[in-house]
Structure 1
Amino acid sequence: MKFNILAALTVFTPLLLATSVNAANPQHVKKLISTGECSGCDLSKANLSGAHLIGADLRNANLKGANLANANLEGADLTGANLAGANLTSALATNVDFKKANLNGVNFSRATIYDSNVYGASMNDLNITNAEIFNTGIGVGGEDAEIPDWK
């Protein structure tokens, strides 16, 4: 009897884990695209490349590992959202609220980021290669950054 239970667990445990792997909820993706509102939604690893998400409500959404390359996020609210490891290559992020968001490991290469709020956001290991950043608290720096002598 114990052997049968152990054998069943050995067979079914990987299947259970496979279904719990973080992946976007298709219903949430559909809701976002159709309404522009998806506060608290699971959009992890979603392919939203080129999406027009102007003014979208994505507060506290899980966008971990999502593909937002070439997306238009103008005026979107991403307060408290998890964007860890997301791809925002060439995205337009003007007037975006990233307040208290997890931006760790986000690829902002060639993105346009103007007048966006990053107050309290976590921003470790950002890729900002060739990004245009204006009036937004994102820049090169940190503990090992060279501090210029302004004398």
Structure 2
Amino acid sequence: MKQTILAIAHLSSLSLVTILTWYRPAIAANPEHLRQLLATKQCENCDLSGAGLVISNLAGANLRGANLTGANLSRANLSAADLTGADLSGASLFGANLTGAKLPGAIVMGTDLRNSYLGNADLTGVNLSTANLQGAVGIPLQLANYEQFYAWGVTAAERGIHQQAIDYFNQAIAIKPDYAGAYLARGVTRYQILDRQGAIKDAQIAEKLFTSQNNQNGLVTAQAFLKELQTPYTEKLDTGKPSFLNFVGSLGSLLLQFLPF
């Protein structure tokens, strides 16, 4: 079961590659439609399949019902753009700014939304189950479960992207307030960025939750972390005493053991 869960971070990428291959457009975008979009930002129901729109400024653009299958919109500015009913299957929106964008009914099968910005985006009726959301910011809570947010947090923490990891753990906790593992993971991540007080608070909450849930493994880990936090730095220099990371093995092994089943 753990091996299945550990594969979460890789499945999206593998699925994405498969779907992107399936949706690779056979023909290029309609050149007249492309010129119209860039000149006026008005291109409702346009054929922009396979269009190269990297870093394009399309803020407020009207792309209702547009065919954007396989289009490359990486790092494009689509803030407040209207993409209602647009087909974004297999498109790349890596790092795109979709803040406040309208996407009701949009098709995002295999869409690359990694590192995109989704704050205040209207995603009503959008099925994100096959989209790659790794690193996306502002994912509405109702569009993912706490397991997914935690898994994304683990991946971000292992990559050293600490604030992003904390944001994901925050979202996991918002959905499941008694998720002890998420508190512990957030505490360890805060410790990594020298937020000692925040780390202590999270570790104490995790300790209480693990106790109430009769999770002995989690309780022992939380107590070991608290001991680490409360040990003066000078004592840690004594190599004869085991450190917290010696106890858990590594940051990755610590966080992965609390991936939900």
TM-score between the two structures when normalised by the length of structure 2: 0.46
Q: How far off is 1:136 after superposition?
A: 7.0
Q: Distance in 2 between matches of 1:24 and 1:119?
A: 27
Q: Distance in 2 between matches of 1:24 and 1:40?
A: 12
Q: Distance in 1 between matches of 2:28 and 2:43?
A: 15
Matched with 2:117 is 112
2:81 counterpart SS class: coil
Q: Distance in 1 between matches of 2:141 and 2:53?
A: 24
Q: Distance in 2 between matches of 1:35 and 1:134?
A: 30
Matched with 1:93 is 98
Identity of aligned residues (%): 37
1:43 counterpart SS class: coil
Deviates more, 1:121-130 or 1:31-40: 121-130
Q: Which has the higher helix share?
A: 2
Runs of 5+ consecutive residues of structure 1 not aligned to the other structure: 1-19
* Change over 3 Å in CA distance of 1:123–1:22 after alignment to 2: farther
Q: How far off is 1:126 after superposition?
A: 1.1
* Change over 3 Å in CA distance of 1:104–1:141 after alignment to 2: farther
Q: How far off is 1:135 after superposition?
A: 4.5
Q: Distance in 1 between matches of 2:35 and 2:142?
A: 32
Q: How far off is 1:120 after superposition?
A: 1.2
Q: Which has the higher strand share?
A: 1
Relative contact order (C-alpha < 8 Å, sep 6+): which is higher? 1
Q: Distance in 2 between matches of 1:37 and 1:137?
A: 31
Matched with 2:136 is 131
Q: How far off is 1:123 after superposition?
A: 2.2
Matched with 1:7 is none
Q: How far off is 1:22 after superposition?
A: 3.3
Listed as ranges, the matches of 1:22-41 within 5 Å are: 22-41=27-46
Matched with 2:66 is 61
How many residues align structurally? 130
Q: Distance in 2 between matches of 1:122 and 1:45?
A: 21
- RMSD (CA atoms): 2.6
Q: Distance in 2 between matches of 1:78 and 1:93?
A: 10
In our comparison, the structure showing a higher alpha carbon Rg is 2
